Structure 1
Amino acid sequence: MPSFDIVSEVNQVEVRNAVDQSNKEVSTRYDFKGSDARIEVSEKVLTLFADAEFQLDQVKDILLGKLSKRGVDVRCLDHGKLEKVSGNKVKQAITVREGIETELSKKIVRLIKDSKLKLQASIQGEAVRVSGAKRDILQECIALIRKEITDFPVQFNNFRD
C-alpha cells in the first residue's frame, strides 16, 4: 500500500551558515561600525542583538536574506517580542520551528478526510502519515496540501510504493 509522510524539517547546517554569513556582513558594514550588532545561535533559538531598534531591523533583514538564499524557508521562524537589554540596546529571540504541531496535524488530517479521497491519514509524532491504494490519489493529496497549507512550510518524504 503506497504511503508518504508530511513533515516540517529545517536544515540546521544551512541555518548556522546563514547566521555566520550574516555576522560577517554585519561586522564589515560601515553603518554598524562600533556597534554591538550580532546574532547568536543556541539550539533552535537565534538571538539578535543591536544598539537600536532600527539596527535590529537591519540585522533581521540581513539574516532573512541569507536564510532565503540558502534555501531555508523563513515561514518556519517564530519572531519573539522586542526586549530592551540595557540603556537603549535591544534584543529579539527568533525560534526555528521544526515538526508539525498537533493543531496543524489535526487540520491536515481533517482536510484529507473532508476531501473525500480514499486515503487514511494518521498522526505519528511530529509527522502525518498518509496511505492509500493508488499513487495517483496520493499525488492528488500532495497537491491539495500544497494548495491549502500556506502559512507553514511542509515537505513530503518517505514516499513508498
Structure 2
Amino acid sequence: MAKEYSFDISAKIDMQSFKNAINLVDKEVANRYDFKGTTYEVDYKEKDKLLVMVASSDNKLDALKDIVITKLLKQNLSSKVLEEQKTENSSGNNRKVTFKIVDYIESKEAKKIAAEIKNLKLKVTAQIEGDSIRVKGAKLDDLQKVIATIRSMEWEAPLVFENMR
C-alpha cells in the first residue's frame, strides 16, 4: 500500500511568543521619549482573548498599535492575529482600543480554502476538522504545491501549516 502524506492548516498562534511580544511592547514604550509623562496601557486579557490598549491621544494610540504590530512580526506572528473590535473614549480623556485575538479559521474561510485546494486539480483531499483543515495526498510534491499556493493567496486568518507527515 502506498504511503499517504498529510499536513494541517490552522490558525493557532504561539501564545508564549504573543506574551513575549506584549512584554517587549511595555519595555519599549517605557523607554520612548514621545511616551514620557503620558498615560498608556497595554493589557492582555488571556481568558477573554482580548488585547486592550489605552493611550492619551489618537496619535499615541496609533504609535502604540504600530509598536505592537512590529513586535508581533519580530516574534514571527502575523499581524492578522489582532482584529480590531472598537475604539472608544476612556476615563481621563484617554482613548481605548480593543482587539480580539484570532486563533481560529472561520467556517466560511475554511470552505473557501478547501475549494481552492480542490480547484488545483491535484491528487489531494482536504477535510475540514473543527478549526483546522487536514490535507492528504500520495505525493509530497503535491502537498508542497498546495502549501505554496495557499500561502500566496490573501486570507483573513493567520494561517499556519503544521504536522507535515
Whether the TM-score (by the shorter chain) exceeds 0.5 is yes
Q: Which moved more, 1:8-17 or 1:142-151?
A: 142-151
Q: Does 1:68 align with 2:73?
A: yes
Could you tell me which residue of structure 2 aligns to residue 82 of structure 1? 87
AA aligned to 2:95 is V
**8 A Cα contact 2:41 2:54, kept in partner:** yes
Matches of 1:147 and 1:66 in 2, distance apart? 23
Cα distance per residue 1:113-158 (max 9 Å; x no partner) = 1221121111001100011222222122112211224543212211
- SS of the residue corresponding to residue 156 of structure 1 reads strand
Matches of 1:144 and 1:68 in 2, distance apart? 22
Q: TM-score, normalised by structure 2?
A: 0.89
CA RMSD of aligned residues (A): 1.6
**8 A Cα contact 1:26 1:38, kept in partner:** no
Could you tell me which residue of structure 1 aligns to residue 6 of structure 2? 3
- SS of the residue corresponding to residue 39 of structure 1 reads strand
- SS of the residue corresponding to residue 57 of structure 1 reads helix
**8 A Cα contact 2:39 2:54, kept in partner:** yes
TM-fit CA distance, 1:87: 4.5
Gaps of 5+ in 1: none
Matches of 1:93 and 1:74 in 2, distance apart? 15
AA aligned to 2:57 is A
Q: Does 1:112 align with 2:117?
A: yes
AA aligned to 2:101 is V
Could you tell me which residue of structure 1 aligns to residue 108 of structure 2? 103
Given candidates 42, 53, 71, the residue that maps to 1:48 is: 53
Gaps of 5+ in 2: none
TM-fit CA distance, 1:81: 2.3
Q: Does 1:121 align with 2:126?
A: yes
TM-fit CA distance, 1:12: 1.1
Matches of 2:23 and 2:143 in 1, distance apart? 39
Q: Percent identity?
A: 39
- SS of the residue corresponding to residue 123 of structure 1 reads strand
Q: Which moved more, 1:117-126 or 1:69-78?
A: 69-78
Q: TM-score, normalised by structure 1?
A: 0.91
**8 A Cα contact 2:104 2:157, kept in partner:** no
| Number of aligned positions between the proteins | 160
